[in-house]
Amino acid sequence: MTMTLLTIANHFLFGGILSLITITNPLSKVPLFITLTKAMGDDKKHILARRACIYAFGIMVTTLFIGALILDIFGISYGALRISGGFTIALLGYKMLFQTSDANFSPESSNNDYAFFPLALPSISGPGTIAVIIGISTEIAELKTIPLKVMAYSATICSMALSCAVVWIVLRTCKIIARILGKDGMEVTTRLMGFLLICVGVQFVYSGIKTLIGGS
C-alpha cells in the first residue's frame, strides 16, 4: 500500500504540475499583466498578482471537487469528458503554437481591479485549465480505495498551489522577464508551451478512448 500511495502521489503531483504549468503558460501572462498594470505602482501590482493567483487557486480547487458531481448530474461519462477535454486542450495548444496566446486588453484606469477578471479567469484558470482539472478529477474518482483518493486529491491540490506559485513569481518579476526574453523569446516560449499542450490533449484523448473501450 505504501508504494501504491507513493506512486499515486508522484503521478498526480508531477503530472498535475506538468499539465497545469503547460496549460496556464505563465510567461504568456506577462504582456497582459504589464498592459493592465502600466498605470499602477509596484505595491499595487504585487497585491494584484497575489490576489489573482489566490482567486485562480480557488477556482481550480472548486473545479476539482465539483467536476465529477457535474458529470453525474448531466450523465457524462469519464471517457467522454476526457476525449472532449483533450480536444479542447489540444485546440488551445494549436492556437498557442500557430497564433498569439493572449489578446490585448486596454485598461481604463489604475483604479480598476483586474485580479478576478481577466487575470484569474479566464487568463490563469481558463477553459483549458478547467478541462484539465475535471479530467484529473475523473481519474481520481476511478481509484478503488479511500486512501488512494485522499492521496490523489492532496497531491493534485499541491500541484495547483505550486502552479499558482509559479504564476505569481512570474507576475511579480514580469518586467525583468520581458526585458530578458524580449518579444521573440516570449513568442518562442509560448509556441513551445503550445506544442506541449497538444501532447497533453492527445494523452487525454487516448486515456478517454481506453476508458470507453474498457467500459463497453
Mean pLDDT over 125-147 rounds to 87
Are residues 213 and 35 in contact, defined by beta-carbon separation less than 8 angstroms? Answer: no
Spatial contact of 137 and 64, defined as CB atoms under 8 Å apart: yes
What pLDDT does residue 161 have? Answer: 98
- CA distance readout (Å), 189 to 17, 64, 198, 200, 201: 17, 28, 14, 17, 18
Q: Which of 132, 150, 138, 112 is nearest to 59 (CA)?
A: 132
Report domain extents, the chain.
2-215
Specify the pLDDT at position 108. 52
96 or 140: which carries more pLDDT confidence?
Answer: 140
pLDDT at 8 over 70: yes
**Architecture category of domain 2-215 in CATH:** Up-down Bundle (1.20)
pLDDT, tens digit, for every residue of 107-120? 555 556 789 988 89
Instruction: Note the pLDDT of residue 52.
Output: 96
Indicate if the pLDDT at residue 68 is higher than 60. Answer: yes
pLDDT-based confidence at residue 36 (cuts at 50, 70, 90): confident
**According to the model, what pLDDT value does residue 193 have?**
74
- Confidence (pLDDT) at 112: 66
Confidence of residue 159 (pLDDT cuts 50, 70, 90): very high
pLDDT at 28 over 50: yes
Q: How confident is the model at residue 37 (pLDDT cuts 50, 70, 90)?
A: confident
